[in-house]
Structure 1
Amino acid sequence: MGFTLSVEKNDTLFFGEDIISFIHIVLNAPSNSRAKSTNNYITMNVVGKLHADDGNGSNSETIKLFQWAQIPAENEEAYRSVTAEVIASGKCFRKITFNQAFVVDYSERYTDTKGIGEFAMTIRQKIDKIDEVEVDGGLPIGDGASAAVAAAAAGTSGDFVSTGSQAGGAGGVMNNIGRAAVTAALNKVDPSGTAAIVAQAGLDKK
Structure 2
Amino acid sequence: MGFIVKVESSSETIDLSLESIQTVEFSTDTPKDSNARSTDLGSTVKITGKILTAVDGDPADSTVKLSLWSMVPVEKADCYRKLTVDVISAGQVVRQINLPNAFVVDYQETYGDTEGVGTFSLIVKQKKDKLANIVLNGGYPAA
Would the TM-score normalized by the shorter structure come out above 0.5? yes
Taking structure 2 as the reference length, the TM-score comes to: 0.90
Q: Which has the higher helix share?
A: 1
Question: What per-residue deviation string (whole Å, max 9, x for no partner) do you get for residues 80-135 of structure 1?
Answer: 00011110110100000000000000000112148521000100000111111100
Question: What per-residue deviation string (whole Å, max 9, x for no partner) do you get for residues 19-63 of structure 1?
Answer: 1110001101111222221110000000011123359xx963210
Unaligned runs of 5+ in 2: none
Equivalent position amino acid for 1:34 in 2: N
User: Is the Cα–Cα contact under 8 Å of residues 15 and 62 in structure 2 kept in the other structure?
Assistant: no
4+ residue runs over 4 A deviation: none
Cα gap change, 1:91/1:114 in structure 2, threshold over 3 Å: closer, same or farther?
closer
Matched, 1:43 2:44: yes
Equivalents in 1 of 2:22, 2:45: separation in Å? 13
Q: Please name the residue that 2:129 is paired with.
A: 128
Taking structure 1 as the reference length, the TM-score comes to: 0.64
Larger radius of gyration: 1
RMSD over aligned CA atoms reads: 1.8
- Identity in percent: 35
Equivalents in 2 of 1:104, 1:59: separation in Å? 24
Query: The residue matched to 1:43 in structure 2 has which SS?
Result: strand
Equivalents in 2 of 1:113, 1:30: separation in Å? 39
User: Is the Cα–Cα contact under 8 Å of residues 53 and 115 in structure 1 kept in the other structure?
Assistant: no
Equivalent position amino acid for 1:7 in 2: V
Matches within 5 A, 1:70-149: 70-113=71-114, 115-142=116-143
Unaligned runs of 5+ in 1: 143-206
Q: Please name the residue that 2:8 is paired with.
A: 8
User: How many residues are aligned here?
Assistant: 140
Query: The residue matched to 2:54 in structure 1 has which SS?
Result: coil
